[in-house]
């Protein structure tokens, strides 16, 4: 029984892996409501599943301002909607871990929090493998944090490569 179950699981995994597409996006980010470390760079890894569903892992580091550093890490689900042949839009929903380090503040104050990520994105194909990626995400974090940190938006534009 155990061998049969492992064989079936392995076969399903091989079929699913063979039929999928992955992509990697390098992007530039802008965060609202934050005075320090507003601009950042990031990378997204997209893994396509059946029925136009896609999983995405995102890491963004924000350029330090006055020794302050920001880092956002998120795992998202996306549903691709084809508008025309080379243009797609997708809603984004996921979880995020957001961290900020304030080195300029005495005692090196750090704030890390978890929350929800809601947004909307679009892809425009430039070639078979290359595409432009646009995304708007609203991060919803705990309300006990300072006003500037409780909820903020991220705008990003990037270039992606499919493989």
DSSP code string of 118-156: EEEEEEEESSSSEEEEEEEEEEE--TTS-HHHHEEEEEE
**Best CA proximity match to 67, nearest among 102, 100, 91, 96:** 102
Please, what is the average pLDDT of the chain?
84
pLDDT for 11 beyond 80 = no
Tell me the backbone φ, ψ of residue 94, rounded to 5 degrees.
-175, -170
Least confident of 2-6, 70-74, 113-117: 2-6
Q: Is the pLDDT of residue 56 over 90?
A: yes
Average pLDDT over every residue of 52-72: 86
* Mean pLDDT, range 81-90, rounded to an integer: 95
pLDDT at 53 over 60: yes
**Is 136 a residue whose pLDDT tops 60?**
yes
Q: Which helix (H) or strand (E) holds 38?
A: none
44 within 8 A of 58, measured Cβ to Cβ: yes
Does residue 120 surpass a pLDDT of 90? yes
Domain spans, the chain: 19-162
pLDDT cut 90: percent of the chain above it: 52
pTM for this prediction: 0.79
Per-residue confidence (pLDDT) for residue 19, from 0 to 100: 46
* Contacts for 31-34: CB closer than 8 Å, 24+ residues apart: 31/62, 31/70, 31/152, 31/153, 31/154, 32/152, 32/153, 32/154, 32/155, 33/147, 33/148, 33/151, 33/152, 33/153, 34/70, 34/148, 34/149, 34/152
The pLDDT of residue 5 is above 80:
no
> Region 137-157: what's the mean pLDDT?
78
Mean pLDDT of the region 84-110: 84
pLDDT, residue 132, reads 98
* CA pair distance 79, 136, nearest whole angstrom: 15
Q: If you classify domain 19-162 with CATH, what class do you get?
A: mainly beta
Written as one string, the DSSP assignment of 71-123 is EEEEEEEEE-EEEETTEEEEEEEEEEEEEEEETTSTT-EEEEEEEEEEEEEEE
Q: How far apart are the first and last CA of the chain?
A: 37
């Amino acid at each position: 029984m155990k061998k049969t179950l492992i064989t079936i699981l392995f076969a399903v995994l091989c079929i699913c892996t063979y039929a999928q597409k992955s992509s990697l996006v390098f992007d530039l980010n802008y965060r609202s409501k934050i005075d320090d470390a507003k601009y950042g760079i990031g990378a997204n890894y997209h893994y396509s599943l059946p029925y136009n569903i896609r999983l995405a892992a995102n890491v963004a580091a924000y350029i330090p301002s006055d020794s302050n550093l920001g880092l956002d890490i998120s795992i998202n689900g996306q549903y691709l909607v084809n508008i025309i042949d080379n243009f797609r839009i997708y809603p984004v929903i996921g979880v995020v871990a957001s961290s900020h380090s304030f080195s300029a503040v005495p005692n090196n104050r750090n704030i890390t929090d978890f929350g929800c990520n809601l947004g909307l994105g679009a892809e425009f194909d430039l070639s078979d493998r290359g595409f432009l990626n646009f995304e708007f995400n609203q991060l919803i974090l705990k309300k006990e944090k300072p006003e500037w940190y409780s909820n903020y938006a991220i705008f990003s534009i990037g270039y992606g490569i499919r493989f």
